[in-house]
A = this chain, B = another copy of it.
Amino acid sequence: MSDVRVHNFSISLDGFATGAGQAPDAPFGHAGERLHEWMFATRFWHEMGGGRGGSGGTDNAFAAMHGPGVGAEIMGAGKFGPPGWQDDPAYKGAWGADPPFHTPVFVLTHRPRPSIEMEGGTTFHFLDASPAEALKRAREAAGGQDVRLGGGPSVIRDFLAEGLVDHMHVVQVPIVLGRGVRLWDGLESLEETYDIEAVSAPSGVTHLTFTAKSR
């Protein structure tokens, strides 16, 4: 059975994965890009954009685990686009013509639409489905490889609550957001089913990995 993996999922000290006030020009609300600056500085990110350079240390080692072995992604509607995208039938997502997924991507939405084939191997499929149903579809599309769970926080919570996540990499950024959408709500005693490791990087962020004990 292939694994379900979460990578590079950034949260603030107070556990918010997005800020308040998400909008087309503010996909992470008042958090802005502060949750992801650690990743933008890595070689992984530079090379994903076709460039060179970037840091090659701890942050990069974690960030680079994002791609290998992944055959499909599942994401929430809020990661595909800003609030209201469902009202625009021609909308093709917030990720540009060549999205950084390069696999089938299953977008969870209560208003599905026909699939969209993008450049670079990414095809967006739209599902109104439970976590287990969506995972079944994604596993079929992944061709034996792992399924990446792309977020946002409420999608990850739903999958965790049903015990469907095998590996989770959370990056804690030393800022206090105060408002937004929390990752941890409703996950009491998560440590009972996961082995948890923590390592702080010189950049100031702390990488937390959760490995399912039942694996």
Contacts and interface: CB of A to CB of B under 8 A. Distances in A.
Interface of A: 13-15, 172, 174-179, 182, 184-191, 196-200, 204-206, 208
A200 B206 contact: yes
Contact of A197 (B15, B177, B204): B204
A6 to B, nearest CB: 15
Contacts of A13: 15, 184, 190, 208
A9 to B, nearest CB: 13
Contacts of A189: 175-176, 178
Contacts of A174: 191, 196, 198, 208
A172 to B, nearest CB: 8
How many copies of the chain does the oligomer comprise?
2
Contacts of A198: 172, 174, 200, 204-206
Nearest to A19: B188
Q: Top 10 closest A-B pairs, CB basis?
A: A178-B188, A14-B184, A174-B196, A198-B200, A176-B190, A175-B191, A200-B200, A176-B187, A198-B206, A199-B200
A135 to B, nearest CB: 22
A12 to B, nearest CB: 8
Contacts of A14: 15, 182, 184-185, 187
A120 B93 CA distance: 67
B188 A176 contact: yes
12 contacts: A15-B15, A175-B190, A175-B191, A176-B184, A176-B187, A176-B191, A178-B184, A178-B188, A179-B188, A198-B204, A199-B200, A206-B206
Given A14-B15, A196-B204, A198-B206, A186 B178 contact: yes
A35 B59 CA distance: 27
